[in-house]
Structure 1
Amino acid sequence: MEESGWKLRTEEEKSMQYLFGGEKNKEMKLILEKGRNSLLESFLDQYQHQRAFYQQAAAEGANICEQILAQNGIRAIVTSRAKRVERLREKLYKREIEYSNSNNGINKYKTFEDIEADIVDLVGIRISLYFPGDREEVHKILHDCFSVRQVKTFPIEKAARSLKGYEKRFSGYSATHYRVFFGEAMKDYQGILAEIQVASVLMHAWAEVEHDLSYKTYNGLLSEEEMAILDELNGLVLAGEISLERLQRAIRCRVDVPPRSFSNHYELAVFLLDYVRKQSPMEKETLSVGNAELLFRFLKKIGMDHPQDLCEYLKNLDTDLEWHTLTEQFLDALFMNKPEYHPIYQLLQREELSETASGQSRREQLDDAIQKTLGFFLFRWMLFESTMRSLLEGQEIEWTSMSSGIRQLYEWEWIGEDTLKELTRLRALRHVLLHENIPPQGSELLEGAYFLETVIQQLLPHLPADLWQNTLKKLAPLTKEESA
């Protein structure tokens, strides 16, 4: 920046002195000597006018995080903010001065784009977890919901363990920061860069106190006694996190085989995760609960809200979690054996959509014709899946996943390559219909249903005689009804 880019405006001096701490920070006093940076002030003026928009974006992002965490049975307090103008001014000038001092007076920022690329937390979301042990699950959820640009974990291994001369005994701030882009789900704010901070409730509280006292003191440096107290509090927070993790494990032990029904969807989510971790070799980082809140309401509705009611349907889990969350896998198994429950689940799905926060689009309810066509398709898919399972059992092959079952039929040359591709497509369609509640196209459903019927009839000769006859009986009534 040329010399002419700096102007001294004495009416700003009092606020600048307060902002940068007066006597406590000599580097910041250089700002008063040089005056204001015209580029930074122009950016700040622009941001001042746009801040309300950033606040709305932050609130919308926090709302999405809060809903998804609740659905997955994760207890947390979610807050949001758009960076305050005075905090942004402090950050920009501090970075500008530090860069200039170490680079022979060269300015750090030359364009607005330079500033936007450097300041990544204009939109900030904070997730304060009740239980620190949920951080791994939140990590997966955030990657599923947003386009994650960078992940930064604290404490940094090489970070200094001293605070202005005081040698700290404890590790300090412990959290994970995610820099994310908002996606298509947030139409009005798509492409906005935000920072999401994830830590325990205790750690966030300590960090607020430590940050304000250590870096924003207006009456001189902290004393050694004050720094020692902050360090001691950090130790207590770390011990508190250990206690919270123990508490979470104790809850899981209680929920593991409880003598009563689930009291809320948090207990349901804990049960699902622990059951799968004990029964399956899957890595816990790959596990995703899914919409436990909706599942809890559904189970209460049909009177299956006790853990023992679920175990039968959790025995044969599909390891292909790219397609199915744990709740979806349970529902798939349940609907396979009790298809009469599916309309009840669909009704609850539509009720959930109608309760969605204002501003989000609401899908219209499906008319009777589409509902019948949907049932026509789903019945045939369940019959196809049942037929495939019977074929695998007859060959003494263990069922592992839908995709592997279809692939096995192809390897036996019981279906061709075109059939393999179409079944894979219909599998994706069925997943969308069951779990994402997206209105289907009636013609696509009919074509898919008739295709499945053809495949089932093609596979019948490979079944034992009694199963062959039973499957044919299930197909016949609906075929006549449809033709009528």
Structure 2
Amino acid sequence: MDLVNQFIENYRKKYTFYENAGRLAAKQLETALQSAGIRAIVTSRAKNPGRLKYKTFHRNAERETPYKNMREIYDDMFDLAGVRVSLYFPGDRDKADALISDLFTVMEKKQFPEQSKTPTYNKRFSGYWANHYRVHISEENISPSQKKYVQARIEIQVASVLMHAWSEVEHDLIYKPLQGALSDEELSILDELNGLVLTGEIALERLQSAGNERIKNKETTFTSQYDLASYLYNYLSNHFKEEDIELRMGNIELLFKLLSRLKFFKVKDIEPILKSVKFEKDRRNISQQIIDQIITGNEKRYHVYQELRSSDDVSDPETRQAVNYFFGQWVPLENLLNRATGRNTPKSYSAFNINTLKRMDILDKDLSNKIGALRRTRNVLIHDIEKPDVEELMRQGDEIHEVYEKLNHKLNGE
């Protein structure tokens, strides 16, 4: 008992740490869900000391060997910092799962219901449907001043809004009874409410499906990144096998802003673009590959895209100058390569394909290798994949100019 009391007093001193860790994880997750076009309410909390004390005493009593030291208790308490994701649509659990796996270091994942557990009451309905994750914040996603929060274990609970509401009621009544154990009648009513919640989830899934059907209409206008995300998920699911493409959607909010600035408001505006994209399994996510198709070889669109991203630009003036020099040389070369690729199909305009240009004898092995390396640098820069090296950028900018002159001479001489 003294050890548990010491643990609680120690935890009270660290309470702000866990509260801030949960808040940081929640903010990262909320931003990522919004950017990916997934509707959800995200909240966080640090474990209430009073509830933690009750839980610790209870778990200690159930153990074969009581806690020996404070480290054992901390290791056993995995939810000192918690994040709750309440999804509008239960069908988005898989999308949220992929996003969490990308954003955090996942130590453990649990799916509910757990069929191995035998209920104390003869329930008619299946109970709690959710995914639980025990994670660490990834060091690459935080600032140096936030590094201390990497050590915090955080529990993320993902379920529908309805399921979270029901589970909160059930958990407080069954596992934290203030006036004794519940009667069979009370358990029966909770079971009945669970049935209503599961029915509500079915209705939410139907509502989501109805919205997806509406968005298929070519004249439908995208009013938000959520409409756009729904359309893209459906389009990709219908046109590609799961093993052929990884549905890492990326920043759909940024893609939506770009489409809006270019006045691509309707399904019919974006469909031809999607048909031109050769979706590939590489370091770029879906939204990045679509953006690449939209801006390729078009200096004005490059500028619009860079302007939309400028609020996130924290690079120094020398780096910005090098990046601008690189793109000043790259865009004309990209435009030239796009036009060369489309020679045999004048009505088609899409991003160049190096293998196609090699088959057309426009590129030899040396040129194709150089352009491939330069395009990888372009992708790194445009999508913030890595921090650029200023000297290398300037050197590659000069190389792009040489490649352009050589290729332009060759094409005009034919």
TM-score (structure 1 length as normaliser): 0.75
Q: 2:129 aligns with which of 154, 174, 178?
A: 174
Equivalent position SS for 2:151: coil
Q: 2:31 aligns with which of 64, 67, 70?
A: 67
Contact 1:349 1:437 in 2 (8 A): no
**Letter of the 1:445 counterpart:** L
Quote the offset at 1:381 in angstroms. 5.9
2:55 is equivalent to residue 91 of structure 1: yes
Q: 2:142 aligns with which of 183, 186, 192?
A: 186
Quote the offset at 1:191 in angstroms. 2.9
User: Cα distance 1:116–1:414, how it changes in 2: closer, same or farther (>3 A)?
Assistant: farther
Alignment of 1:135-146 (within 5 A): 135-146=93-104
Q: Distance in 2 between matches of 1:312 and 1:444?
A: 36
**Letter of the 1:141 counterpart:** L
Q: Distance in 1 between matches of 2:357 and 2:280?
A: 13
Alignment of 1:348-367 (within 5 A): 348-351=308-311, 353=312, 362-363=314-315
Alignment of 1:7-406 (within 5 A): 36=1, 38-99=2-63, 103=64, 106-107=65-66, 109-160=67-118, 162-163=119-120, 166-184=121-139, 185-187=141-143, 188=146, 189-283=149-243, 286-351=246-311, 353=312, 362-363=314-315, 369-370=321-322, 372-379=324-331, 382-383=334-335, 386=338, 389=341, 405=355
**Letter of the 1:124 counterpart:** G
The range that moved more, 320-329 or 137-146, is 320-329
Quote the offset at 1:385 in angstroms. 5.5
Equivalent position SS for 2:134: strand
Quote the offset at 1:372 in angstroms. 3.7
Q: Distance in 2 between matches of 1:339 and 1:282?
A: 34
Q: Distance in 1 between matches of 2:365 and 2:289?
A: 25
Quote the offset at 1:215 in angstroms. 1.1
Quote the offset at 1:118 in angstroms. 1.6
Gaps of 5+ in 1: 1-35, 355-361, 473-484
Equivalent position SS for 2:273: coil
User: Cα distance 1:285–1:444, how it changes in 2: closer, same or farther (>3 A)?
Assistant: closer
Contact 2:319 2:388 in 1 (8 A): no
Residues 88-143 of structure 1: per-residue CA shift (max 9 Å, x gap):
112211111111xxx3xx32x22333222221111100000000111111111111
Equivalent position SS for 1:149: strand
Quote the offset at 1:346 in angstroms. 0.9
2:412 is equivalent to residue 469 of structure 1: yes
Residues 266-321 of structure 1: per-residue CA shift (max 9 Å, x gap):
10111122122222234498212221112222222221122211112111334434
Query: In the comparison of the two structures, how many residue pairs are matched?
Result: 403
User: Cα distance 1:387–1:367, how it changes in 2: closer, same or farther (>3 A)?
Assistant: same
Residues 167-209 of structure 1: per-residue CA shift (max 9 Å, x gap):
0011101100011111122341223210110000000000000
Contact 2:341 2:352 in 1 (8 A): no
Give the % identical residues. 35
User: Cα distance 1:363–1:459, how it changes in 2: closer, same or farther (>3 A)?
Assistant: closer
The range that moved more, 127-136 or 295-304, is 295-304
User: Cα distance 1:368–1:288, how it changes in 2: closer, same or farther (>3 A)?
Assistant: closer
Q: Distance in 2 between matches of 1:428 and 1:112?
A: 50
**Letter of the 2:187 counterpart:** M
Quote the offset at 1:455 in angstroms. 5.5
Aligned residue in 2 for 1:4: none
The range that moved more, 57-66 or 441-450, is 441-450
Residues 206-227 of structure 1: per-residue CA shift (max 9 Å, x gap):
0000011111112121111111
Contact 1:388 1:405 in 2 (8 A): no
Q: Distance in 2 between matches of 1:93 and 1:381?
A: 69
Q: Distance in 2 between matches of 1:294 and 1:135?
A: 22
Q: 2:377 aligns with which of 410, 422, 429?
A: 429
2:375 is equivalent to residue 415 of structure 1: no
Q: Distance in 1 between matches of 2:242 and 2:406?
A: 34
Contact 1:318 1:401 in 2 (8 A): no
Contact 1:414 1:459 in 2 (8 A): no
Aligned residue in 2 for 1:31: none
User: Cα distance 1:273–1:168, how it changes in 2: closer, same or farther (>3 A)?
Assistant: same
Contact 1:384 1:452 in 2 (8 A): no
**Letter of the 1:306 counterpart:** K
Q: Which one has the largest radius of gyration? A: 1
User: Cα distance 1:41–1:261, how it changes in 2: closer, same or farther (>3 A)?
Assistant: same
Gaps of 5+ in 2: none
Contact 2:21 2:81 in 1 (8 A): yes
The range that moved more, 438-447 or 318-327, is 438-447
Q: Distance in 1 between matches of 2:109 and 2:333?
A: 41
Equivalent position SS for 1:190: helix
Contact 1:178 1:197 in 2 (8 A): yes
Equivalent position SS for 1:74: coil
